[in-house]
Structure formats: C-alpha cells, structure tokens
Structure 1
C-alpha cells in the first residue's frame, strides 16, 4: 500500500479518497505514492508514463 495518494498527494490514511480512486480510473497518477513528489506525466494515444525523480517510471 502507498503512503500517499497518487492522485491528490495527501497521506493515504487521511480522509476519504473515493473521488481520487474514481478519477484514477480515467487519469494517470500525478504524485508518487512513496514520496509525494509531483511526477512528470506523459499521455500518449496508447497509454501513459509517470516518472518520479526518486523512484523511477511507471506505465499504464
């Protein structure tokens, strides 16, 4: 489980992230779930990539 919400960047255990989970069904992550850094996101017609400077790249 991630420490931070990858959509809003808030601590994962704080508050209700139902809206974040719903948004993530259609959007790539914006924040690293491990360190809360803003990620560099690239969306292409075939998917997306999100890169954290500390933790590397994830893809759709």
Structure 2
C-alpha cells in the first residue's frame, strides 16, 4: 500500500481537500511524516525549523 498522509493533520492526503492544512503549513512546520503518519519531533528556531521522523529521518525548512 503506497499511502500519502497530510503532514499537518496526519489524515490520508487523498481524503478531503486539506486547504486549511495547506494555509497553516505556510506558517508552521509539519507535524506528521508524509510517508508513515508518525508524529514527528519538531524544533523551531529563529533560523527555521527541523522535523524528525524516527523511521524516515530529518526534514528541514530547506528540503521540505
């Protein structure tokens, strides 16, 4: 199964439109891994943000 999840609310990306999630993601980092739906460890700094999934690794503001 090749599922893709919303990185803000954690629901299947194919269910619903996620317009509110897209607007919120312009201002805040992701909270869920897009691949496995695990809650990520997020760190916000003045220089940007980083989010780490225990299974899929690190994502930063520059490689999102």
Same fold per TM (> 0.5)? yes
Q: Which runs of 5+ in 1 are unaligned?
A: none
Supply the distance in 2 between the matched residues of 1:39 and 1:25 (Cα, whole angstroms): 18
Q: Which residue of 2 aligns with 1:11?
A: 12
Aligned-pair RMSD on alpha carbons? 1.0
Q: Which residue of 1 aligns with 2:51?
A: 50
Supply the distance in 2 between the matched residues of 1:15 and 1:24 (Cα, whole angstroms): 16
4+ aligned runs moved over 3 Å, structure 1? none
Supply the distance in 2 between the matched residues of 1:7 and 1:23 (Cα, whole angstroms): 8
TM-score using structure 2 length: 0.90
